[in-house]
Chain A
Amino acid sequence: MEKKIFPQRLYGLWLLSLVASAVIALRLADIQVIRHNYYKEQSERNRTQTIFQAAPRGRIITAEGTAVAQSAPSFNLYFFPGKNNSQEDYIQTLAREISAVIKEPQEDILAKLKRAVKSGKASVIEENLASSYVLPLAELQVHYNGIYLMEESKRTYPYDTFASHLIGYLGSMEGRAWRDRDQSLDYRLDSKIGRFGIEKKFEKYLKGTDGGLYLEVDHRSRLKSIIEDKKWQPGADIYLTLNFKLQRAAEEGLKNSVTGRGAAVALNPKTGAVLALATAPGFDPNIFVPYGHEETEKDRKEIKEFNLAVQGVYPPASTFKIITAMAANEAGKLDTERYVFCNGLYDAGSRVFKCWSKHGNVNFWSAMAGSCDVYFYGLSNYIGPAVIEKMQRQFMFGLPTGIDIAGERSGNLFGPTRRAKNKTYWFIGDTLNLSIGQGELLATPVKMAQFAAALANRGKVLRPYYIDKIVSSSGAVLFKGEQEVLNEVKVKPQTWDIIFKALKGVVDNGTGRAAKISGLDVYAKTGTAQNPHGRDHAWMIAFAGRNGQEPDIAVAVFVENGLSGAGVAGPIVRAMLRAFYNIEDEKAAQKETGVDEGTSRLRGARGGAAVSAETQLALKLAREALAAEKEHAGE
């Protein structure tokens, strides 16, 4: 039959349909099984739109309970693009209406709206709206589809520059930061994150959990139903060990000092808790809170994130004489009553080393009180550099304090062993430099505070810590700062007695008179670090306790280019101690010290004074010097 030839051709088509079915079935399986999860996610994303509400960040609270960083309610304007509100003319109208209310240029708002339309996501149009704008905008929200007024929480720092380097600031998320972040914390591109200081370091505690409205929408972004209205979970509060008044006093003091640049650190010598950690100049973290405002843009760029208290390294200068003295006493070579004549020079054989003044006849006490370099040149030459280096190591110089602030520098240990490691020679001049804390010796202000605290508690080198505790919003303690002894300085008890006596002498009748406060036992040592690049730096370390009691505060104050430890750092220490012990400022006290703020004449003034004070009593020497200084000041 002739028709038999045709079915072969239909058979070909039939085979083709077989192949087509197989291809289609495989592709269906690919879409519906293998790529199911991807498409499911896409479908969920289609279906839901979320309006996030940033949770209030945890507060940062000082030891007395003053909140120095807190979250205040603020209103943000969101735009929620959809198919029916993305037309050019609609956006134009909307931008005009919004700009009429919030008094921002219409182009800026239009640009933001366009960006939102392009991304297709709910985006912030304006942050931190003033309260007067809120009602008109709420009205706009009724008339215009797509704009939403959301209550969020805004970070505020009520005391502006208070501990700014420690607390840090918030910033907008950058693309890279967003990727690096722990995704479980639910960051979005418009989230604010801690960019510096505690805000950055304890981000995960402070953050909290964002709330939000999860909406089911149709393809035109019209609301169908609210799936979930999640309330935010506030972040954990951070309790600092900072003493509010003390910190304030330190910052004031630094700000009003000669150069306005410096650092002041106060520790509790019993625990190592940081009572104050001030760096000047500070900044106002509030300027980081609004985003995209031109006026703060310039200020923001000028901010110095350099935290001098932990990142600045300087020679400790005369404050280091304490270590030289301790090393000498440990070596059994310190005769406190032996007199040395200081004519302002010390002949080291190949080179002549200068003292900053002509002290005349000094013994140990007066040498400490008047900070005589010649005395310590001789002493160090006698005991040798190795014991000094050993004592340095006991106090952990050259190592970071472990205060747990990003970028802390370790400073530099100086001594013959360290030199030997570098395969260079040690000269006699190095020994002399070491004895007065110059040379390659470097330490941060916080290191010096740790040193002061170790002196105050007779040998315990403590790790400074500034977080007292972190308490979650539900009241659970998430973290607790604790005392940590890094090292125990093992010296004879008699050594401590000598040092305490000498440091008390510095305050009572030496260079540290500025820190003398009635009712307190103040122990201090000043220092003036030679600076080959400019004016000298001023140092002062001190610790104090009420009369006859254990010291409960140790302070290190550093003023960059301050020129004089006694004249510049001293008043700051005094102000800090007053603030700490709640002692009212008496004008008499100011007169008694006779040191005007910002004086820089000590060096020149002492020249004549030392000659006239050739008495054998250290106390007398100092008093005479003071009198002479007054005379010169009067000229």
Chain B
Amino acid sequence: MFNIHLSDQNIKRTNTDYIFVGAVFMLVLIGTISVMSAVSGTALGAHVVRTHMIAVPAAFAAFFFGWFFNYQVYQEQWKWLYAMIIFILILVLIPHIGSYQRGSRSWISLPFFSVQPSEICRVAMILVASAYIAFNIKRIKEPLVPIMVFVIIMPIFFLIMKQPDFSSIVISFPVLLALLYCAGVNIFYLVLIFLFGFFASVFPLAWTYIYLHPDITAQSAVIKIFYGLSSNAFYIFIFCAAVCLFTFLAGVVLRQFRIYIPAFLLILVAGVIISGFAGGLFVNNKMKDYQRKRVEVFLAPSSDPKGAGYNILQAQIAMGAGGVLGKGVFSGTQSRLGFVPEKHTDFILAVVGEEMGLWGTLTVLALYFIILWRIFLIAYNSSDVYGYLVCSGIFSMFFIYACINFGMLIGLAPVAGIPLPLISYGGSNLAASMWALGIVQSVYSRRITFR
């Protein structure tokens, strides 16, 4: 069906995938230059450069650790790994250990720098989920396996939400879905999980929009009742009953057409919709105002030109002003004069675009593409299912990171506060990403076993 044997010729005898390692090093180099350019001359310049100079060696250490450490150990010891994740995430929630910065308690302060455990957990979560799937790979078609994966991961999500660090959830949930997809889970179950996620996100989105535009409730009673769903217990009960009734009727009607659907499937659909709705209710009630603002900007970017939409606009001005060749490193006016916000983290690509031009942004894109390509090949050539699954998870992670970050800058995705791994400033993210890439390299080096 697919001719995927081309990969056999590309990866042969070496222990090191030089293309992959080269691309990773190039990205870190470009990232370091961009971060320094973005912060030079600003008040936090010295701090950022100092932290970054600690983070880069640490990141390489993590990369080589991931590379030389046998990845199969993660599979064997996944319960310990899981316990460690939970332990760290609980640790960060303890007031005197976890420090409270920018509205969330997601940092552990160390003498010279602070660590964001949720970043590391994001990678570890892939390892844990992959391990569970790999052990149960023969029963992968049963619905129990994906459900168990979610049951295992749910405490991690819950703890991350406690901080709260929504952007980690935004990344991790699709990564998990993609991982299950790559593992070969029945697509029907994935659709159900997707539906759950869909309902859990669409309801809060719509409610937030109405919350921020109270005037539209006056236009129509339907909108008012819909908004009432978010708080009124009676409406919620009616909604759940309506879903149940609807699925029951759907089953009856389909039976008339001689289409027999197992009853448990219908119950599953209804259950997924209702639980998705319940999840949405939960998310909606937990949402902070600044997060609502972000949703607002996603839904109507032009509505608040001086607010968050302004950020995207300024980032695009920066990129557009760069042109093909860019204004030259250390001479972008948009970022240096402070028009681009978060210029060294989420909007680092705007700095690349302004100072290095189209060639800079295309180079970053191409390097990402090369990394994804090599991960794909390494996954194909892995010696065991676990290696394949870990590579798939990391592939999805980088893919989703890049898509959201690029998409945000070019106006196709919401401003989610997602950094661009390897480029953006952020030691934990960089180290975790490098660790993940090291694990991929480890899968490559150990594709032939000599046991």
Contact = CB atoms under 8 A, between A and B. Distances in A.
A86 to B, nearest CB: 10
B379 interface: yes
Contact of B410 (A31, A33, A219): A31
B318 A32 contact: no
Contacts of A38: 320
Contacts of A8: 1-2, 4
Contacts of B412: 23, 27
Given A32-B319, A46-B317, A9 B337 contact: no
Given A14-B372, A28-B365, A42-B320, A217 B337 contact: yes
B182 A10 contact: yes
Interface string A1-21: 011011111110110111011
Nearest to A8: B2
A36 B318 CA distance: 10
Nearest to A218: B337
B63 to A, nearest CB: 22
Contact of A11 (B4, B399, B402): B4
B323 A9 contact: no
A510 to B, nearest CB: 80
A415 B323 CA distance: 73
Contacts of B396: 13
B321 interface: yes
Given A47-B333, A220-B338, A36 B323 contact: yes
A46 B334 contact: yes
A28 B376 contact: no
B184 A5 contact: yes
B426 interface: no
Contacts of B385: 3, 6
A25 B182 contact: no
A33 B358 contact: yes
B183 interface: yes
B339 A219 contact: yes
Interface string A30-60: 0111011011101110110000000000000
Contacts of B368: 21
A224 interface: yes
Contacts of B339: 43, 46, 218-219
A29 interface: yes
B379 A7 contact: yes
Interface in A568-593: none
Contacts of A13: 178, 181-182, 376, 392, 395-396, 399
A28 B392 contact: no
B361 interface: yes
Contact of B183 (A6, A18, A20): A6
A6 B182 contact: yes
Interface string B176-197: 0010011110000000000000
B276 interface: no
A508 interface: no
Contacts of B427: none
A9 B317 contact: no
A216 interface: yes
B369 interface: yes
A9 B320 contact: no
A7 B395 CA distance: 12
Interface in B379-430: 379-380, 384-385, 388, 391-392, 395-396, 399, 402-403, 406-407, 410-412
A9 B365 contact: no
A33 B325 CA distance: 10
A219 B338 contact: yes
B362 A25 contact: yes
B365 A25 contact: yes
B353 interface: yes
B323 A40 contact: yes
Interface in B198-255: none
B255 to A, nearest CB: 34
A38 B112 CA distance: 44
A331 interface: no
B421 to A, nearest CB: 15
A2 B140 CA distance: 12
B317, B324, B338 pick with most chain A CB within 10 angstroms: B317
A31 B338 contact: no
A189 interface: no
B365 A32 contact: no
B175 to A, nearest CB: 11
Nearest to B319: A31
Interface string B1-37: 1101000000000000000000000000000000000
B379 A39 contact: no
Nearest to B321: A43
B380 A10 contact: yes
A5 B183 CA distance: 9
B392 to A, nearest CB: 5
Contacts of A11: 2, 4, 376
A9 B388 contact: no
B321 A40 contact: yes
A100 interface: no
A373 to B, nearest CB: 78
Interface in A179-234: 216-220, 224
B321 A39 contact: yes
A24 B365 contact: yes
Contacts of A217: 337
A6 B2 CA distance: 12
Contacts of A47: 333-334, 337
Interface in A83-125: none
A4 to B, nearest CB: 9
A559 to B, nearest CB: 62
A632 to B, nearest CB: 83
A7 B376 CA distance: 9
Contacts of A36: 320-321, 323-324
Contacts of A6: 182-184, 385, 388, 392
A42 B321 contact: yes
B320 A3 contact: no
Nearest to B406: A24
Nearest to B354: A43
B365 A21 contact: yes
A5, A17, A29, A36 pick with most chain B CB within 10 angstroms: A17
A9 B181 contact: yes
Given A6-B388, A10-B395, A11-B2, A28 B337 contact: no
Contact of A216 (B337, B373, B392): B337
12 contacts: A6-B183, A7-B380, A10-B182, A16-B399, A24-B365, A24-B407, A36-B321, A36-B323, A39-B319, A43-B333, A43-B334, A216-B333
Interface of B: 1-2, 4, 137, 178, 181-184, 314, 316-324, 333-334, 337-339, 353, 357-358, 361-362, 365, 368-369, 372-373, 376, 379-380, 384-385, 388, 391-392, 395-396, 399, 402-403, 406-407, 410-412
Given A6-B183, A7-B2, A31-B319, 6 more contacts: A3-B384, A24-B403, A32-B358, A40-B321, A43-B320, A218-B337
Interface of A: 2-3, 5-11, 13-14, 16-18, 20-21, 23-25, 27-29, 31-33, 35-36, 38-40, 42-44, 46-47, 216-220, 224
Task: Give 4 nearest A-B pairs by CB, closest first.
Answer: A39-B320, A43-B321, A219-B338, A218-B337
